Structure 1
Amino acid sequence: MAELNETTFWISGIINGEYRECDGPYTTTKNMTDKGYPYVLKTPNPNFTHQKYDYIAHEWVDTSSEALLHTVEDVQKAVTELKSNSQSNTQSNNELDKKLDKLTTLVTMSNVQTGKLMQKVQDLKKQAQPATQPTETTQTITTANEGGNN
């Protein structure tokens, strides 16, 4: 005679149009390993008074009001930190913008001065060159008529 193996499972999710967080345990002689949502073979956490199964993390999650309160507190703390970081970044960005504006102004002024200096250098080069006229080599070509008649 074949021995029947019993499988214990819980229901966490929607079944027959009804939501159940952690309903069970149930036992069956059917193989439940290939079943999935909303059937859970993992034993619920005995430390949680209310829980549901997280199918992504594959673990039971505490859904008690105390756990939700801690979650809300954690979210509030994270929001406060983000606001603080955002304000700090805004202040840092404002300071950085001011520094960049100063730097841009200095670079622009430097470019203007460089342009003026380059013009002066060009003017000095022109003054330093001797005033020479371009010389043309002229050859006088004289044709002598030898013998008198062409």
Structure 2
Amino acid sequence: MKPIELSVQEKDDFCVCSVLQAIFRKYNFHISQKEIACNLTSGKKTGFLVYDSRIKEFMKKNGFEYSYFGVHETPFNEPDELLKEICQHDGILGIKEHVYILSCFNGLKTKLINPSDGKEIEKKYPDLLIEMEPSGFFGLIKHIS
């Protein structure tokens, strides 16, 4: 599998655009962050919505299936199983109004790529869940075409 090639976010509120662009690139689909932004719903204050129909439709139109899970809405209330599934495919995590790419999860630790600077950060699994309170999310992305 091709590694993630992330370009840092081009604007302060383009974290979602940056991580989606990196995932698209992994499958040789090249699109600008600005083009991605034009296909998403703007948030009330800043950034873009990650849970509405526009993001799902945009992903589907480009050969991906996108599933959103709030921090307390994971299947069977097992976030670790969802993280394992994200590692098998692709995915994003929302922490405190910022979005990261999940690059690795081994049951004890997670590795995330920050689109602000492109650096990988490591977090212990329990600490990650605490940081995701109260409004964090998981986004499972599957390439379907």
Coarse TM-score class (shorter-chain normalised)? under 0.3
Q: So what's the TM-score if we normalise by structure 1?
A: 0.20
User: Normalized per residue, which structure has more strand?
Assistant: 2
Q: Which has the larger radius of gyration?
A: 1
User: Normalized per residue, which structure has more helix?
Assistant: 1
Q: So what's the TM-score if we normalise by structure 2?
A: 0.21
